[in-house]
């Protein structure tokens, strides 16, 4: 089932990015909740907070490495607790969603804008939740299973 989560993240991420890119122009913003949440079309050439801007090759290599590592470790991942498996699925789906953008456009399309945080996208949410779930599983779930 985690594979369907990865695929779902990629499809949803790419669909929303397609809609944003075809209905808006870069820099365009409209409020969903005035001064709290906007949809803002941003072309992000870097990572979170714009760090390592214009390092396209680096991000492509890292994205490919994450996806291939996830596929290569699939037998190991399948034996782990659900939190670890689903966290890995979120991480891979998010990494692949942003990888598609970097290969196609040279940047990532971002659009969720809460005005107090840098603009981000669905793939970014999946990556953060996935890494959080993996860390939680490693610290609390997998260790507990070993001691049982």
Q: Provide the residue ranges of all domains of the chain, joining segments of one domain with +.
A: 2-22+39-143
Query: pTM to 2 decimals?
Result: 0.89
Least confident of 42-46, 52-56, 135-139: 52-56
Q: What is the pLDDT of residue 52?
A: 74
Query: How many Å apart are CA 92 and CA 13, to the nearest integer?
Result: 13
CA distance 85 to 101: 25
How many CB atoms are located within 10 Å of the residue 11 CB?
A: 13
94: burial class by Cβ within 10 Å (0-12, 13-18, 19+)? buried
Catalytic residue among 13, 101, 113, 124: 124
Closest CA to 86 of 128, 122, 124, 130: 130
Q: Which tokens sit at 121?
A: 């996208």
* Residue of 13, 101, 110, 113 with catalytic role: 110
Res. 145: pLDDT tops 60: no
**Mean pLDDT for the chain?**
91
- The question of whether 110 is a catalytic residue gets the answer yes
CA distance 133 to 34: 32
Contacts of 4 (CB under 8 A, 6+ apart): none
Q: What is the pLDDT of residues 104-120, one digit of tens each?
A: 999 999 999 999 999 99
Contact 70, 88 (CB under 8 A): yes
Cα gap 39→53, rounded to integer Å: 22
Mean pLDDT along residues 45-51: 75
Q: Read off the pLDDT of residues 72-92 as tens digits, 9 standing for 90 and up.
A: 998 999 999 999 999 999 999
CA proximity to 14, closest of 129, 92, 109: 109
């Amino acid at each position: 089932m985690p594979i369907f989560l990865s695929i779902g993240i990629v499809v949803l991420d790419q669909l929303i990015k397609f809609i944003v890119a075809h209905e808006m122009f870069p820099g365009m913003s409209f409020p969903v909740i005035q001064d709290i949440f906007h949809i803002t079309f941003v072309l992000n050439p870097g990572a979170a907070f714009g760090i390592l801007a214009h390092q396209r090759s680096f991000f492509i290599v890292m994205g490919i490495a994450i996806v291939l590592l996830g596929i290569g470790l699939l037998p190991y991942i399948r034996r782990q607790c659900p939190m670890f498996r689903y966290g890995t699925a979120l991480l891979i789906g998010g990494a692949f969603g942003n990888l598609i953008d970097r290969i196609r456009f040279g940047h990532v399309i971002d659009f969720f804008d809460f005005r107090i945080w840098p603009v981000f996208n669905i793939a970014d949410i999946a990556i953060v939740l996935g890494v959080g779930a993996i860390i939680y599983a490693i610290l609390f779930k997998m260790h507990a299973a070993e001691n049982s």
